[in-house]
Structure 1
């Protein structure tokens, strides 16, 4: 039996955990980037970059279209690195989220106040054709990031992956346990189109060596996830 915890309410909506997400579409990309450039984007000293090779970090870009979520039907761009709390053992690996733009105010407030996620409100569009999905992030009126991927058919049922997401907000480090379906639609790296425009996020991605082809990419629809209540470390 799953116990439900009530955190409180925001804008009159009760916030409870575990928070179950029933339906989202996601494109996930992984890039090998210079570890020194990745460290420069980590605030404070509470976390350290996991090197996947000498001097190499893993940038994870997750582009998400939440369709059925207790916090709304919204789009999100999740930018992070494989990382661990400073001083933790090498077996400890999670994803540190350094940027998390969303396109709605409520999920931004809830993510900040409840989970310690560094959510900000920006313009994000998720557009689909029969063959491709395109995610566009805007900084005001300017294009910041556009990613286009094939709508790859799943190679099997999604697998539920239990992990932890790390974040840092207002001077405090956080961790959020979650279980999320991993998409099984495999995308060839040379079929991914990454375009950078203007603004701080575009400049940060350029400092990491983008635009370039990812090391890996996946795509999935009708995925699910369960988020637990985040806690300060």
Structure 2
């Protein structure tokens, strides 16, 4: 079978897209499931209610260092959702859940075009301020307005998930919901319960995060020193 190709800004990308090196900082929050559902109702997907009345939202900063889409920062807001047609609930439902990508600001034009055209991700241009040191931190701003700022206390080298994983994300754009499968390998993983400070700005994205009850204590924060990823084509599901 011939691999599919996409032309982005004059560059031909042959699928699957390869990310050879990236690092990651992630925080997981337990939020009101009805509030999360209202936020993503437009997608046609249903949030995964891992506990009665509760859903999981993940805020993640990725720094892509070497890959087919170039070098860039990306901030994501994702909600854990059931596969289409599933009404599963309870802790075990998370095993089959995927991540619906609701916000995805980036700081480079090439990945913005690729992300929107190939996968239907909600990428917009943003500015990032990164703070290295004893505590990693960042600010993300869109159109000159602060969206979110976060600081992460360093975790311990405790692995809670397999080193190699196959997962899927969901996106919605131009009236179409899409599913994208990907594989990733994680090395240099550190985890910590809580350990996150978060603050919100005045951007409309900030108000959506506030509707979920943020800022609040994180369930978990995780950092990964070396991420490798492989993304296939998106599949339309509705």
The TM-score normalised by the length of structure 2 is 0.89
Q: Greater shift after overlay, 96-105 or 151-160?
A: 151-160
What's 2:71 paired with?
A: 73
What's 2:177 paired with?
A: 173
What's 1:103 paired with?
A: 107
**Matches of 1:145 and 1:15, distance apart in 2:** 32
Return closer, same or farther for 1:148/1:14 CA change in 2, 3 Å cut-off: same
**Matches of 2:233 and 2:136, distance apart in 1:** 31
Superposed, 1:12-91 pairs within 5 Å as: 12-44=10-42, 46-88=44-86, 90=88
Superposed, 1:156-167 pairs within 5 Å as: 159-167=163-171
Return closer, same or farther for 1:43/1:69 CA change in 2, 3 Å cut-off: farther
Alpha-carbon RMSD? 2.0
Q: Greater shift after overlay, 28-37 or 80-89?
A: 80-89
- Structure 2: give runs of 5+ residues left out of the alignment: none
Shift in Å, 1:151: 4.2
Residue aligned with 2:50, SS: strand
The TM-score normalised by the length of structure 1 is 0.91
1:1-24 CA distance string (max 9 Å, x none): xx7723221111111111121111
**Matches of 1:212 and 1:82, distance apart in 2:** 18
What's 1:139 paired with?
A: 142
Return closer, same or farther for 1:149/1:30 CA change in 2, 3 Å cut-off: same
1:185 lines up with 2:190 in the alignment = yes
1:11 lines up with 2:9 in the alignment = yes
What's 2:152 paired with?
A: 149
**Matches of 2:2 and 2:158, distance apart in 1:** 34
**Matches of 1:42 and 1:25, distance apart in 2:** 27
Please tell me whether the aligned partners of residues 17 and 68 of structure 2 are also in contact (alpha carbons under 8 angstroms).
Answer: yes
**Matches of 1:126 and 1:153, distance apart in 2:** 22
1:84-143 CA distance string (max 9 Å, x none): 2442363641111111111111111111111111111111233312x2211211132232
Please tell me whether the aligned partners of residues 193 and 219 of structure 2 are also in contact (alpha carbons under 8 angstroms).
Answer: no
Residue aligned with 2:70, SS: coil
Structure 1 segments, 4+ long, off by >6 Å, are none
